[in-house]
């Protein structure tokens, strides 16, 4: 691996760690946080362990929830319905997602600490 590839991987992994920390602290909502983590995991070529696979599954199950700019394409009534559904989804998956984040952070510490 050359220096540029190493630096790119390091930067993406740091973003992934920050996404886990923001999700655990409540700074980021669950669906948004999972999307952020999974997108970085894909860029890194990870996704082989059970925690990454679980986050991938949760991301897939929640892909119909509009976030950010995509919300402007929905009526207020539809947004209200989807937001209620998303909030229940997040309550149902919070513990398992939190455990995945804790495991990712623990693995990252083990790999990157001297």
| Tens digit of each residue's pLDDT (9 = 90 or more) over 34-50 | 999 999 999 998 777 89
Q: What is the mean pLDDT of residues 18-22?
A: 98
pLDDT at 110: 61
At residue 65, what are phi and psi to the nearest 5 degrees?
-80, 120
pLDDT at residue 46, as a whole number: 78
Predicted structure pTM score: 0.91
| pLDDT for residue 99 is more than 80 | yes
Range of the structural domain that residue 15 is part of: 3-112
Q: Is the pLDDT of residue 114 over 70?
A: no
The residue among 21, 50, 39, 30 whose CA lies nearest residue 94 is 30
For the chain, the domain total comes to 1
């Amino acid at each position: 691996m050359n220096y540029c590839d190493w630096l790119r991987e390091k930067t993406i992994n740091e973003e992934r760690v920050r996404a886990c920390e923001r999700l655990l602290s409540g700074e980021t909502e669950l669906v948004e946080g999972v999307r952020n983590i999974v997108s970085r995991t894909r860029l890194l070529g990870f996704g082989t362990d059970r925690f990454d696979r679980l986050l991938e599954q949760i991301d897939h199950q929640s892909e119909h929830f509009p976030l950010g700019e995509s919300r402007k394409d929905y009526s207020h009534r539809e947004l209200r319905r989807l937001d209620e559904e998303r909030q229940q989804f997040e309550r149902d998956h919070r513990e398992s997602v939190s455990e995945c984040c804790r495991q990712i952070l623990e693995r990252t510490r083990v790999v990157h600490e001297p």
